[in-house]
Structures are given as structure tokens and as C-alpha cells.
Amino acid sequence: MANRSEQAVADEIFSSADPLALFSSWLTEAEATEPNDANAMSVATVDGEGLPNVRILLLKHADEDGFVFYTNTQSAKGVELLGAGKAALNFYWKTLRRQVRVRGAVSPVSAAEADAYFATRPRGSQLGAWASAQSRPLESRDALIEAVGELEKQYDGKDVPRPPHWSGFRVVPQEMEFWINREFRLHDRRVFLRGDVNSQWQTARLSP
């Protein structure tokens, strides 16, 4: 798919009324142009001391209810997400030269949602979710491989159940900002803001 002109994309962001629909449109376009992981995003959290953390994760689902990803709930990010109840996301598509920033409240997905997604994962990833005490010290890589081997024996011929410490989180956006690269740093930026999910989106153009 050929990239649309910067002006065409700018016209789109400044005429759109629904930022979640706009994001979906951009993600679809990125999936056709990015060489790898168009759904990759930075996920920023804060720990109990207020110190920020950021890492790259993969978005697994996005709709009018928010942005969903999965992780070990006992990992650093899992603990921070549960503790603060809020997060920020950042998507950057280099080939399109566009960016979307998201901030909002975080809540766990339902057990049924987590079970359904876990069942779609490759078996090796399912076993890895049990084997890895994510973010905690690891004696050696051999120890991790050995743990996976033991789990392979334990679940030989059986379905691998979802670990109780592995689930998903949904970021419900209260702020979404769309950015388009322009020459000489005269970029186009538009922000959408709302107080909660029942509020109407308010919007403004931002200086680059």
C-alpha cells in the first residue's frame, strides 16, 4: 500500500470525531507498511516510589472499550499496573512517520477474555508463561530451559491451562494524541480528551 500524502492524513485527523476509529484506521494502514510488529507499543507505568518504567509490548486488541495487552501479573509491569491503575502507551510507525500517544485508566480483563486469548497462543508460549517468573532473578538460562522441559512432560498430551498469574490489561483512554511528521518540524498534532468513558471527547490542535 502506498503511503498517503501528509496533507491527506492531516485532513483526516482534523476532520475525525472518533479517535478510536481513527486509531483503528492508522493501525490497519501500518499493518500494510511496517516491516515488523505494527502493533508494537511502548507501555509506561510508575512504581510505588513514583519512578517511571517503560518497555515495548504488543497490542492484542483495540476497540471502543480500549487497548488490551497480556502479561504476567506478578512481573514489574503487572504489579505497577495493578498498583497505580493507570498507564501510557505510545505507537510509532517509522515508515508512515506517524505517532499515537494514549493515556488512561487500567483494569484487568475478565477471566473469560484471558482464557480465550491464552488458548490461541503457541504451545511454547503457553509453557513459557508457566516457566518464567518474569522480572525476578534467574539462576541461569539452563534453569529456564529445564523448567520448560519439566512442563512439557507435565502437560504431554494435555491442553496447557492459563496460569493464575497471567492475564490481560485494558487501558481505557482518557487522552489520545495523533502526530504526523511535517517538514522543518512543523508537525501536525491533534489531541482528544475526555473525563471518563461516558464523557464526550473534547479536541484541540497542538503546537508542534
CA-wise closest residue to 66 among 189, 175, 203: 175
**Mean pLDDT across the chain:** 94
Sorting pLDDT into bands at 50, 70 and 90, what band is 1? very low
Residue 185 is a catalytic residue: yes
Task: Quote the pLDDT of residue 135.
Answer: 86
With both helix axes pointing from N to C terminus, report the angle between 141-154 and 123-131 in degrees, rounded to the nearest 10. Answer: 120
Q: What is the pLDDT of residues 41-72, one digit of tens each?
A: 999 999 999 999 999 999 999 998 999 999 99
Residue 110, pLDDT > 50, answer: yes
Decide: helix, strand or coil at residue 168: strand
Per annotation, catalytic residue among 123, 136, 170, 185:
185
Task: Quote the pLDDT of residue 43.
Answer: 98
Task: Quote the pLDDT of residue 2.
Answer: 53
Cα-trace Rg, the chain: 19
Q: Tell me the average pLDDT across 26-31.
A: 96
Residue 206, pLDDT > 50, answer: yes
Per-residue H/E/C for 127-158:
HHHHHCCCCCCCCCHHHHHHHHHHHHHHCCCC
Q: What is the pLDDT of residues 148-197, one digit of tens each?
A: 999 999 999 999 999 999 999 999 999 999 999 999 999 999 999 999 88
Contact by Cβ (8 Å): 33, 95: yes
Q: What distance in Å separates the CA atoms of residue 67 and residue 105, rounded to the nearest whole number?
A: 11
Q: What distance in Å separates the CA atoms of residue 47 and residue 104, rounded to the nearest whole number?
A: 16
Task: Quote the pLDDT of residue 198.
Answer: 87
Task: Quote the pLDDT of residue 98.
Answer: 96
Task: Quote the pLDDT of residue 23.
Answer: 97
Higher-scoring residue by pLDDT: 171, 6: 171
- Structural domains in the chain, CATH included, are 6-206 (2.30.110.10)
Q: What distance in Å separates the CA atoms of residue 144 and residue 152, rounded to the nearest whole number?
A: 13
Question: What residue type is 35 in one-letter code?
Answer: P
Task: Quote the pLDDT of residue 95.
Answer: 94
Contact by Cβ (8 Å): 30, 36: no
Sorting pLDDT into bands at 50, 70 and 90, what band is 21? very high
| Beta-ladder partners of 169 | 69, 108
